Amino acid sequence: MNTTSTNNPFVVGQWVRGEKFFGRAEIIAELLFGPRQAVWVAALRRMGKTSLLREVERRVLQNAESNFLALYWDLEGAIDDITLRESLLAAVEESASGLRVETSWENLSTPEVLRKIQQKAKSRQRAVLLLCDEAEALLTVAQNDSHLLARLRRALQSENVRCVLTATRRLTVLETFDEAGTSPFLQGFVPPLYLPPLRETEIQPLLAQAGFSLETRKELFQRSGGHPFLLQLLAKRTLEYGDLAGAYQHLQHDETLHNFFTVDFNTLQPTEKSLLQQCAQGDGLSLRGTSNTEARVALQTLLALGLLAEQNDHLRVRLPLFQDWLQRQSPPQAAQKTIFHSEELKPGERVGPYEILHEIARGGMGIVYCARDVHLQRLAAVKVLHAELLGDEQHRARFLSEARAAAQFQHPHVATIYAIEFKGETPCLCMEHVEGQRLEQWAKQAHLTFAQKLTLAQQIASALAAAHAAGLIHRDLKPSNIMVRKDGMAKLLDFGIARRLTAATRLTRTGQMLGTLAYMSPEQASNLEADARSDVFSFGVVLYELFTGKPAFTAENELALAYSIINENPPPPDAENPALPHALAELLMSMLAKPPQKRPANGQAVSKILEELIELL
């Protein structure tokens, strides 16, 4: 085997570029021909993001019939408008697309230069294919000039432009900037298109170039997990050592690789770290057996990133070298399952004056028990934060925030908060016990009339109206959080993720989506800021299902469902149920508008329209 030949891709280095590029056919097709005009390709470091963009550019340039004018733009090092413009002008100069920088462009802002490029492309009857690499630079730009970022977004998502950003998931930090105009930047680019490890069929031709035997090629794939950088490194060391087992053992103790994994691990969210650590320790997690919404979203993200793989309905760490690294980490470096511990409550146990009777339900943040107040001799519901979430101080803070926010708010159609008690270090929220059916059960009754459904909808709308007027948003509206008593009175439960609109501290971490996904607004599914209009969207999803009998959004998995919520519209409700009044159908579709500004502004606006519809009955 010749290890010094210039034809050996593992010695030359740029082994996934140009004619030596392998795989990624589906992703390239999506970027060139997919329905989305703005795409964020998200991946771990060294996963081949730059090579992907360069390959897309090459294919466009080689296709004389392409409708695109391709421009590769490296944003690395940009900090403001001047450096952004300089990098863009350099990209134009280096491009083989035939574009040339005009002298007047040097005095323009970056968005203005982009518009000039767009005009040039249009004169050639082409669309601009803007391939923006190292987009994490926009984080620095946002810190220095958020207004520039807002104008840049409009230029990148304008007519006749198809824009692809590549960045790690650090790009979601853009959500944390409070300046007006910054948060919407990602709205057109999410959900991200994840760049996973290579499949075995994609890398076999590449490995064959180096003369590896079929058996060695299979083992190289298994030990690298298909990660391009790990595959290159392991193949290169195997050529140097002449022995795959020896090369793998050497990499297990390689300091450079240790640092590589450390950086990647630290880009993950705490929930993702904890779940990844559990999989590395062989805890046998499975998607099917995970009911916690936040955990399911985290597991789906880890699968999409290529850090986990599914095997026989169980999840395992996909990259053996990374699993070895995880298993060697000390507790301060690797996420721990819990810091605090709490036992599930059993009948007869006391929480303050509340005696536990039985469990009612389990949700995304906690377990709800039916209890009796031994002093007042009345039933109560006691909600306890999930034990596995107590290790996160921000979950504890969010839980306590729920009590403070909800206790200050009283409404006949909202469950009343009585008190907050503690069982050891476990906080317990004690509230009104509502006997009846959850909305999804109540709605299945065959005898229900349109008037009954409309009345119930207006009751919930009035509760939202009062909450929004008090500066509160619910952020977790779904049928299971609405109870209907035997007398037909609706009660809105679980302001479990509520917070004041004016709160300075944002408890939700970047990258974490709360609430049940099927009822999330596009902003929540995109990890962007949510306000009262987010509640309006979620309420619209609930009402769509109530009045049509069908969910507004469906998909095979969480990632596909997020895409549907953000990009697709459900069928008109009066098409699903022709008996619906046109005015109600119009209201529902306005509540489900993708841009928040096109929805009713708050619960008051929805309540008013529903009241008018009731008066027409």
Please give the positions annotated as active site: 476
Which three-class secondary structure state does DSSP give residue 380? strand
Contact call for residues 92 and 100 (beta carbons, < 8 A): yes
Whole-angstrom distance, CA of residue 64 vs CA of residue 126: 12
Closest CA to 472 of 537, 397, 535: 535
Closest CA to 49 of 170, 193, 263, 188: 193
- Residue 329 in tokens: 């980490």
Q: Taking phi first (over 0 means left), then psi (-120 to 50 degrees means alpha), and beta for anything else, what does residue 577 get?
A: beta
Element (H, E) at 204: helix 200-209
Contact call for residues 473 and 530 (beta carbons, < 8 A): yes
Which three-class secondary structure state does DSSP give residue 230? helix
Q: Which residue has the tokens 């090369």?
A: 247
Whole-angstrom distance, CA of residue 310 vs CA of residue 455: 46
Query: Burial level of 49, CB count in 10 A (0-12/13-18/19+)?
Result: buried
Cα angle value 193/195/200 (rounded, 5°): 135
Element (H, E) at 613: helix 603-615
Residue type, 339: I
Whole-angstrom distance, CA of residue 424 vs CA of residue 406: 23
Q: Which residue has the tokens 């839980």?
A: 399
Contact call for residues 129 and 69 (beta carbons, < 8 A): yes
Q: What is the DSSP pairing of strand 354-362 with strand 366-373?
A: antiparallel
- Residue 84 in tokens: 């952004």
Kindly list the distances between the CA atom of residue 600 and the CA atoms of 234, 294, 525, 565, in Å, as whole numbers in the listed order: 56, 28, 19, 18
First and final C-alpha spacing in the chain: 84
Closest CA to 552 of 567, 573, 532, 536: 573
Contact call for residues 486 and 442 (beta carbons, < 8 A): no
Element (H, E) at 71: strand 68-74
Q: Which residue has the tokens 């841009």?
A: 595
HEC states along 447-486? CCCHHHHHHHHHHHHHHHHHHHHCCEECCCCCHHHEEECC
164 DSSP β-pair partners: 39, 131
